[in-house]
Chain A
Amino acid sequence: MTDDRIQRVTMPKWGLSMKTGTITGWVAAEGDEISQGDDLVEIDTDKIAGALESTWEGVLRKIVAEAGSSVPVGATIAVVAPADVSDEDVEAVVAQAREQLAAGVVEEEDAGAEVGTVEVDGRSISYATMGEGEDTIVLVHGYGGDKNSWLFVQEPLSHMHTVHALDLPGHGASSKDVGDGSLETMARAVLGFLDARGIGRAHLVGHSLGAAVVAAAAAEAPARVRSLTLVAPVGFGSDVDAEYLRGFAAATSRRQLKPLVGRLFADESLVTRQLVDDLLRYKRIDGVGAALQRLVDTLLDGDRQRIDTAARLGGVDVPTIVVWGREDRILPPTDINAAANVRVVDRAGHMVHMERPADVRHAVEAAVAAG
């Protein structure tokens, strides 16, 4: 007979492989009034550190898992409830949560992500789907990345929407063959994914090269695309850290890769050993080296950008929002046509969706609303 106004703050699933998270520090304190969007608690996964944003409203009544504890995904770490809910009722929920933690058993309420593959143009495309909602959002990562890079964005968005994150050809768990490595081939993979999943129209979100890809998809099939959110996009302006692109493709050791990957972030301490290790594991797979090389050729003309996304979007009438990290060292934020809705985010580098995920999430929500 629990008061149903009592809300459990749970350890989020940031990334498909995440099984536990470590609480490094509580931002909110017991007794604080909590609103949607407030930073609640700092959490470390073995891949990255981030702040859990509140999707709950009320008073933070009780912290169940203290700083320093490692907790399974889905476990209750705090209880939020309106001030007038009795302490007794809150304690009952807390006691239950503590038992659960002690037993190490957690029932993940939603099964987490649905992971699968579809066949598109003779290639296997891997995807992860979370949530269910009226609107369908498709997240497309950038050069050298994979669907896990959306870890801080996919989960919160999935509370209200159906959110798919896919691996482009040559990346993640998809086939490593990229064919001619052209933007068209990548765009067709995205459109093919929509077909295979029976998605009529979707809000497309792309990061870096992924942004150019979704823009190209929108240019090719505007009827399929309800909105575009372009995160640190390729193809606006010609400046690019060409050395990074080439270096990333060529690197074979931790020593070579770590400094390069550091350039992706405003806060280089986010580059953990695990992050670099995971990238090396990906890069070692047969075919990845060749795929990345092809993509470098697609991206670069000498040391400048080859792709012109602005031009591609010229005739396309789809609501578009651009989000950029002010400290992006790979693709420095440029002046974009004032008609485009551009949000520049402070204290974020190229991986703005990992460093300032809330800002990216708000941009996506805005695009969804407009589309």
Chain B
Amino acid sequence: MARTISYREAINEALAQEMERDASVIVMGEDNAGGASVGSPGEEDAWGGVLGVTKGLYGRFPGRVLDTPISESAFIGAAIGAATRGLRPVVELMFIDFMGVCFDQIFNQAAKFRYMFGGNALTPVVIRTMYGAGLRAAAQHSQALYPVFTHIPGLKVVTPSSPYDAKGLLIAAIRDDDPVIFCEHKALYDITGDVPEESYAIPFGEANVVREGSDVTIVAIGRMVSVALQAAEDVAGSGIEAEVIDPRTTSPLDEDTILESVEHTGRLVVVDEATPRCNLATDISALVAQKAFGALRAPIEMVSAPHTPVPFSDALEDLYVPNPQRIVNAVKAVTEWKR
């Protein structure tokens, strides 16, 4: 039976159900429980994660939720090492912005073990991390750095946009035998949606066509999916029917669904919150320009953040993140384009 729960609860449920099903799944990270378990005088499981995502797991699964000191290299590396020895750790990199202090373990070690060791390594680690702007957390706590991980062969990268997708993709990530970077947009934790009580896994590399339309294809990543849907509603008023595609995973990327859609609509807008140089918008645009050039009836439009760090002031941050109007403008640009 499906019922309405939040994105945060969906992730918590995925973790709990997989930990229940498979004793090798463990959870680690800073303040994943917090409080008494780490020597503090107050309650146990005081936080359950900085935004409460792992709350309740500590008590339910004794010995399998491990808090860590602030030593990303060490504990992300530990999760990776433990994965090579039969555990399935789900380790939290609290903010994707902190990847700088542990990136080697992720991109030089975990990502490359299988290839460098000639196929003789299994590293089933999941690194959960928060990304995204909108909470006024400023430059070092608001970035959308999934393109950097997407670039690395050997990693898989997931960007769920809804509670249903978050649960199903996290379950799939935990069951996956490769290293997975699971990117949760921090502004999505409170959104709600229908989520089945039962466990289910959404395969990677399977995009979700969230809205069908034949006039323009809008590919949007993560939180941008709902912004794109808003824009699609707006342009429907002018008689433009937009097809909105959520790739769900940036690596592997469901190229076929995107190409099929553009073959049909002839127009593409890509909405990516990440900053514009070498982001997913450039990646997807190049792919489409190369493989569906003949179908295109207008140049491709990309809507992303500007080439700046994330500003603090709400007045500026609200200009930074793509909004429906900017997407509408891009749709108009491609639908009204003439040589």
A173 partner, pick from B1, B203, B212, B257, beta carbons under 8 A: B1
* Chain A residues near B164 (CB-CB < 8 A): 281
Give chain B nearest CB distance to A255 CB in angstroms: 7
B46 within 8 A of A: no
Over the window 268-282 of chain A, the binary record of Cβ atoms lying under 8 Å from chain B Cβ atoms (1 yes, 0 no) is: 000001000000010
| CB pair B206 A284 closer than 8 Å | no
Most buried by A among B200, B206, B209: B200
Q: Which of A126, A273, A281, A285 contacts B212 (CB 8 A)?
A: A273
The 8 A CB mask of A152-168 against B (1 = contact, 0 = none) is 00000000000000000
Query: Closest residue to A117 on the B side, CB-wise?
Result: B1
Complex: A254 Cα to B256 Cα, angstroms: 11
Q: Mark A241-253, 1 if CB is under 8 A from B, else 0.
A: 0000000000011
What residues on B are CB-neighbors of A281 within 8 Å? 164, 196, 200
Q: B34 at interface (Cβ–Cβ under 8 A)?
A: no
| Contacts of A264-305 to chain B: CB distance below 8 A | 273, 281, 284-287
B 185-232 contacts with A by CB, 8 A? 196, 198-203, 206, 209, 212
Name which residue of chain A comes closest to B212, CB basis. Answer: A273
Q: Which residues from chain B contact A253 at a C-beta distance below 8 Å?
A: 203, 206
- Could you tell me if B1 and A286 are in contact, using CB atoms closer than 8 angstroms? no
Residues of chain A with a CB closer than 8 A to B212's CB: 273
Query: B257 near A284 (CB under 8 angstroms)?
Result: no
Query: Are A252 and B203 neighbours in the complex by a CB distance under 8 Å?
Result: yes
List chain B residues, Cβ under 8 A from A285. 196, 198-200
Closest to B243 in A: A273
- In the docked arrangement, what's the CA distance between A98 and B198, Å? 41
Answer whether residue A203 sits at the interface, using C-beta atoms and an 8 A cutoff: no
Write out the residue numbers on chain A whose beta carbons fall within 8 Å of the beta carbon of B256.
Answer: 255
Q: Please report which residues of chain B, range 117-173, place their CB below 8 angstroms from some CB of chain A when the two chains form the complex.
A: 164, 168
Q: Is the CB of A176 within 8 A of B206?
A: no
Chain A interface size, as a band, is 10 to 19
In the complex, what's the smallest C-beta–C-beta distance from B253 to chain A, in angstroms?
14
Known: A126-B1, A273-B209. A176 touches B200 (CB 8 A): no
A-B contact count (CB 8 A): 30
| Chain A residues with CB under 8 A of B198 | 176, 285-287
Q: In the complex, are the beta carbons of A284 and B200 less than 8 A apart?
A: yes
In the bound complex, residues from chain A placing their C-beta under 8 Å from that of B200 are: 281, 284-286
B202 / chain A contacts, CB cutoff of 8 Å: 284
A254–B212 alpha-carbon span in the complex (Å): 13
Q: How far is the CA of A173 from the CA of B1 in the complex (A)?
A: 5
Contact with B168, one of A255, A284, A287 (Cβ below 8 angstroms): A284
User: A126 vs B212: C-alpha distance in the bound complex, in angstroms?
Assistant: 32
- Alpha-carbon separation in the docked complex, A286 to B17 (Å): 11
Q: Is the CB of B201 within 8 A of A284?
A: yes
A184–B199 CA distance with the chains assembled, in angstroms: 28
How many angstroms between the C-alpha atoms of A176 and B199 in the bound complex? Answer: 11
A126 to B198, CA, bound (A): 14
Q: Contact between A254 and B206 (Cβ–Cβ < 8 Å)?
A: yes
Cross-chain contact A286 with B199 (CB below 8 angstroms): yes
CB A117 to nearest CB in B, in angstroms, measures 9
Chain A contacts for B199, CB-based, 8 A: 285-286
Contact A255 B257 (CB under 8 A): yes
Beyond the given pairs A285-B200, A286-B198, 11 more chain A to chain B contacts, judged by CB atoms under 8 angstroms and listed by A's residue number, are A126-B1, A176-B198, A253-B206, A254-B257, A255-B257, A273-B209, A273-B212, A281-B200, A285-B198, A286-B199, A286-B201
21 contacts between A and B (CB under 8 A): A173-B1, A252-B203, A252-B206, A253-B206, A254-B209, A255-B256, A255-B257, A273-B209, A273-B212, A281-B164, A281-B196, A281-B200, A284-B200, A284-B201, A285-B196, A285-B198, A285-B200, A286-B199, A286-B200, A286-B201, A287-B198
| A interface residue numbers (CB < 8 A to B) | 126, 173, 176, 252-255, 273, 281, 284-287
The 7 lowest CB-CB distance pairs between A and B, nearest first, are A284-B200, A285-B200, A286-B199, A173-B1, A285-B198, A273-B212, A253-B206
